[in-house]
Structure 1
Amino acid sequence: MKNSKLKNSLTALVLLFTIAGFAQDKSSNIVSLDEFYSKIKSQKNPQIIDARGADEFALNHINGAVNFNLQSENYGKYVAALDKSKPVFIYSIGAGRSVALEKELLKNGFAAAYSLEGGIANWIGNGKPFYTNSKSKLSLTEYNKIVAENNSVLVDIGSKYCGACKKVKPILETIKAQYGEKLKIVEIELEDSPQIIADLKNINIFPTLILYQKGEIIFKKEGINNLKNEVDVALN
C-alpha cells in the first residue's frame, strides 16, 4: 500500500515538473512598445535585431538594427558578433520570427532578450523613429481629405509581407462589390506609404481596419474577425 502511494506521489511530481517545464518553454519576453523603447533608450549601444527577411529590412527598419533570423545563411556569424552579457531587442512583422529568435538566444546563454509586441507595425505605427528608402504615396493631408470628402471610408492598413493582411483582401472585394460607390475603400501598405502609418500614430498591429462615417471613427479593429458583419451593421 505504501509503495503504491509512493509511486502515485512520484508520478504526480514528475507530471508537475513536466507541465512546469512545458509552460516555461512556451513563455517569451514579449514586451509593450513603451517598455521596448524605454529599454533601448537606456542602452548606450543597443543590440537591435530585425528578424524579418532581407527584402523587408531593405525597405524599412528601426534605426540601428541589424538584420538576421534563424534561417539566415550566416546566422552563427551574426550571433557571434553580439554581446551575450547585454540585452538584445528583437522585432519582426508581428511576433513570430522575433519570438523564435529570442527563445533561441536565451537558450544559448544570452542574459536578456526581448520581442516587440506588434512588431514593426507597432513601432512605426506609433511614430517611433525609423529608416525608410521610399516616400509615402499617400500623405496625411491627402488621407484627411479623403476622410472629409467621403461619407463612408474603410481604411485597411497592413503589409504585403503580413500573412493575416492577405486574408483581408477577399473580404474587401466582397464589401466593395456590395456597397460600390457608397463606401470608399483605402488600402495602405507599409512598403508603399510608411510615413502616413507613422503620422496616424494609432496603429499597433497589422492588419488594422478603420471605418469612418462623416469624418468620425465608427470602429477601429485589429485583425479581420467579423469585419464584414461589423461593416454591414455600421452602414445599415
Structure 2
Amino acid sequence: MVKVLNKEGIIILDVRTPGETSRGMIPGAVEIDFRGANFEKEVEKLDKSKPVYIYCASGGRSKSAQEKMSSLGFKETYNLLGGFNNWSAQGLPTK
C-alpha cells in the first residue's frame, strides 16, 4: 500500500476532524473534514480524473465520503480499510 500511495498522480484524502489529524496523518494527504460544513465544496476542488485514496480513523467515514464523491463524479475512489488506526498500528510512515 505504501508503494501505491507514493505514486505520482494520486490524491490521498484524510476525512477526519482537525482534532484527529493533529495526532498524525499519512504523508502527502489532503485534509477535508467529512463532517465539516464545506466538505462537498472543498472536495469539488480536487481533480476528478485522478485516483483518490480516502481514509478516516477506521473506515466508516471514508466509506461514506467515497460514496459521496462517486455521486459527485469522481471515477476512481478507494477506501483505505482500517483507516489511520490500521496504518499507524502497522508502523507505516506518518507526519
Q: TM-score, normalised by structure 2?
A: 0.87
Residue correspondences, number? 95
Contact 2:18 2:33 in 1 (8 A): no
The one-letter amino acid of 2:71's match is K
Pairwise mapping of residues 10-159 of structure 1 onto structure 2 (< 5 A)? 34=1, 37-41=2-6, 43-131=7-95
Identity of aligned residues (%): 35
Q: 1:83 to 1:58 in 2, by over 3 A?
A: same
Provide runs of 4+ in structure 1 moved above 3 Å.
Answer: none
User: Which structure would you say has the larger Rg?
Assistant: 1
Q: Aligned partners of 1:64 and 1:71: how far apart in 2? A: 21
Query: Which fold has the larger relative contact order, with Cα–Cα distance below 8 Å and residues 6 or more apart in sequence?
Result: 2
Contact 1:90 1:114 in 2 (8 A): yes
Unaligned runs of 5+ in 2: none
Which has a greater percent of strand? 1
The one-letter amino acid of 1:122's match is N
Which has a greater percent of helix? 1
Q: TM-score, normalised by structure 1?
A: 0.38
